[in-house]
Amino acid sequence: MGKRVDPSQFKPILRAHVADLRPRQAEVLDRLMPKIEMITESGCWIWMDHSAYNGYGITNFAGKPWRAHRLMYAAFHGDIPGHMVVCHRCDVSSCVNPAHLRLDTQLNNMKEAAAKRRWAGQERTHCKRGHPYRDLDPTRSRQCHECRRIKGREQWAAKKAKGDSHAY
């Protein structure tokens, strides 16, 4: 018999804690400012260098890869606790203006995105086969209940036809 494990020993998996980079603020600015275009109308500082598929800037600093907005937040505001995300007040993913960045939880960020109609795929209310989604909550993954039910029945029928004893 195996050794019993106390569930209290397990800790939730968190993002890596980011240390305060305020002492290196001048170094961060010297490296990043040539890659930023300032938009005077909105006040956004747009990242013009490498970007990820979702529009967030990517750079290297102190031998580590960084999201540009997270680097700017750490340089101007300090620590980023592991359970927090850096959110944009301006809703522009390529913006790195420290005045436009704030900390929040992922759950609150998703709720805010839904309230502002920024949630990807929010306009979809039916699956590709035309079945309506039952759950339109942005904090949960959306799957078509009807398609899942049909697929489960097909898998069960295939196992039964094959003679799988667990299909009955």
Both tokens of residue 117?
């109609």
pLDDT digits (tens, 9 = 90+) for 116-153: 877 666 677 778 888 887 765 555 566 778 888 888 89
Contact 167, 156 (CB under 8 A): yes
* Inter-CA distances, 107 with 9, 28, 88, 117, 121, Å: 25, 29, 14, 15, 17
Q: Domains, the chain, ranges and CATH?
A: 22-115 (3.90.75.20), 124-163 (no CATH)
- pTM given for the model: 0.64
Q: Which residues of the chain have pLDDT under 50?
A: 1-3, 5, 7-14
* Inter-CA distances, 25 with 33, 56, 106, 131, 144, Å: 12, 20, 26, 52, 48
